[in-house]
Structure 1
Amino acid sequence: MLFGFNDVYLRKIESAFSDTRVVARGDQLKLRGPESQVDRIERVVGELVMILNRNGNLTENDVDTVLDLARVGTGLRRSAGQDAILFTPAGGTIQAKTPGQTRLVEAARQSDIVFAVGPAGTGKTYTAVALAVGALKSRQVKKIVLTRPAVEAGESLGFLPGGFKDKVDPYLRPLYDALEDMIEREKLQSYLERNIVEIVPLAYMRGRTLNSAFVILDEAQNATAGQMKMFLTRLGAGSRAIVTGDASQTDLPSRTQSGLVRAREILDGVDGIDFIDFGKEDVVRHKLVKDIIEAYERAGND
């Protein structure tokens, strides 16, 4: 099952690494090639063995996903010359396009909790969601939980039309948009109905324990220090988290310290937690966004 019918999975692994030879001898693999690539192949095979042991079978999609994640995490290049995080339903790829995104991808493979901090338009959330979907598709996790604080929805929530879901969905819409780029619409709807993918306001995370989950807290600058501690302590066995935010765009009351800022003060240097800083050089939106960020920086973010 590990090698695939007629060793098709081994041929996929071999073709992903130049100047290497992968040969099956009974229940052993013999690898020949540069030491660095042999080490990478060993890690790929180890990951596939874990998936096989966990699920009882191995699919071609499992092999493709692990190879794509290995390319991103180790600097191996696709033929297009870019690192692929995830294949999209339309047949394209989602890739780390900037230095900040590349650092986020690498950190997420090494640390269980990663903070991605920086200005708008740098692809922090989109990259994080792609990593989560990749982990779900490769069966590294069993579910995805995406959450945001909805601070503006506080006391004014009652003035918005519709039921509670209608009132909070606008704050969660960017997360839906990212998912719809990465998962077929019918499959995403099925995931949502079965709670394989959850998109919830941050307040609804209290009291939960999340096992084997990839959890993303978006717009974390709008979480209070208490909410941030609550979120980080939700993680259970086999779970990972990415926290994204821009400390310069908090919507909290003036006397309330952002949980994102406070978390860095408390957690920076803790083993297993990584902080990735994005800058204006990572902006991937309209070219004017970079100029706008620079102008506000000159004005002292007033």
Structure 2
Amino acid sequence: MEEKRLTIDKAEPLLLFGFNDQHLRRVESAFPDVRITARGNQIILQGPPDALHRIERIIDELVLVLNRHGHLTENDVETVLALFTVGDGAGGRPGLDAQNVVVFAPGGATIRARTPNQIRLVESARKNDIVFAVGPAGTGKTYTAVALAVAALKARQVKKIVLSRPAVEAGERLGFLPGDFREKVDPYLRPLYDALEDMLPRDKLAGYLEQNVVEIVPLAYMRGRTLNSAFVILDEAQNATHLQMKMFLTRLGANSRAIITGDVTQTDLPSRAQSGLVQARQILEGVDGIDFVSFDERDVVRHRLVKDIIKAYERFHQEQEQAEGREDAGP
């Protein structure tokens, strides 16, 4: 049996503990071998070391939720408990690596961070309001970002999700596709729908889309908007120009967060130098509240050959750049 004291100095203890300490009592009920006592702005934990460590992480997460919302609900506490408890008598679901679970999907499935940089993205998104996730295709950047957005919506940390992509087509012209504008862009936004359908029941997702709780829009439609209490994702950001990137980043309003994903090697713009994603790193790296998470071939979660394909293309581009450098240098 071990004792641990947590000092609450980044949130109002009364709001964190709940009326008559009801939030603490709920956490305590999920850990039968642990005793939780509140004294002033301190929480005293007594129990097995592993359980105390998990409760400390739960309290840290509850503090984040409280600071973002200004209050805690019973649903907030249940959501956080579900993310961090496991099936060893702690009232959770058996077999989960709870530390890396992002959100629970329909049917009891779990969406979790599976690679080191996916885990880094999850941790960074909980600490920063704007995170850039940059790396090759197939590394789970977009999927993890959408899971974080759905988790935030379920925990009532935000009131809506806005998913966006630049309307730059890879080798096609949208004008030649049949249908009205919505019918033209919907196939282009399909990967975002696919991710949402994995994480939300179909009827609930349909309701969210109808009520604009979840919006999926081309980047051009973001101009002039202010997004409050929203989790905003810009996907395929390598296809955003400098001006579009600045426009997107300045849409964020109060209590909003953003994740920007992209692969600078796959831009459909005439020149990579025109990519707002490339320029954003040069301008914004080091700004407090903004973080950059880099993905590489080790994070690929698609077919095993995708890693080899990415490596082969990287070698090819490096050799090309070296050859061009020798030509520019002259005799």
Answer yes or no: same fold by TM over 0.5.
yes
The match for 1:166 among 183, 187, 195 is: 183
How far does residue 47 in structure 1 lie from its aligned partner after superposition?
5.2
Q: CA deviation at 1:298?
A: 1.2
Which residue among 143, 153, 178 is the counterpart of 1:136? 153
Does structure 2 retain, via aligned residues, the 8 Å contact 1:117–1:276? yes
Is residue 225–residue 258 contact of structure 1 (8 Å, CA) maintained in 2? Answer: yes
Q: Distance in 2 between matches of 1:154 and 1:290?
A: 23
Aligned to 2:163: 146
Q: Which residue of 2 aligns with 1:295?
A: 312
Which shows bigger deviation, 217-226 or 80-89?
Answer: 80-89
Structure 1's unaligned 5+ residue stretches are 72-76
Q: 1:97 aligns with which of 114, 133, 137?
A: 114
Deviation at 1:64, TM superposition (A): 3.2
2:58–2:80 CA contact under 8 A, matched in 1: no
Equivalenced residues, count: 294
In the aligned structure 1, how far is the partner of 2:21 from the partner of 2:36? 10
Counterpart of 1:244? 261
Distance 1:127 1:134, change over 3 A: same
Deviations 1:156-193 (A, max 9, x none): 33221011100001111000000000011111011001
| 2:236 and 2:261 in contact (8 A); partners too | yes
Displacement of 1:243 after TM fit? 0.2
Structure 2 residue aligned with 1:67, among 68, 81, 103?
A: 81
Give the match's secondary structure for 2:107: coil
Name the structure, 1 or 2, with higher relative contact order (CA <8 Å, separation 6+).
Answer: 1
TM-score normalised according to structure 1 size: 0.85
Using the aligned pairs only, state the percent identity. Answer: 68
Give the Cα–Cα distance (whole angstroms) in 2 for the partners of residues 42 and 145 of structure 1.
28
Q: Quote the RMSD (CA, aligned, Å).
A: 3.3
CA contact (8 A) 1:2 1:58 kept: no
CA distance in 2, matches of 1:17, 1:146: 37
- Structure whose CA Rg is larger: 2
* Contact 1:2 1:52 (8 Å CA) reproduced: no
Shift of 1:230: 0.3
Distance 1:299 1:101, change over 3 A: same
Distance 2:193 2:110 in 1: 18
- Work out the CA distance in 2 between the residues paired with 1:92 and 1:79: 12
Alpha-carbon shift at residue 38 of structure 1 (Å): 5.8
TM-score (structure 2 length as normaliser):
0.78
Distance in 2 (CA, whole Å) between partners of 1:127 and 1:36 is 25
Q: Distance in 1 between matches of 2:107 and 2:96?
A: 20
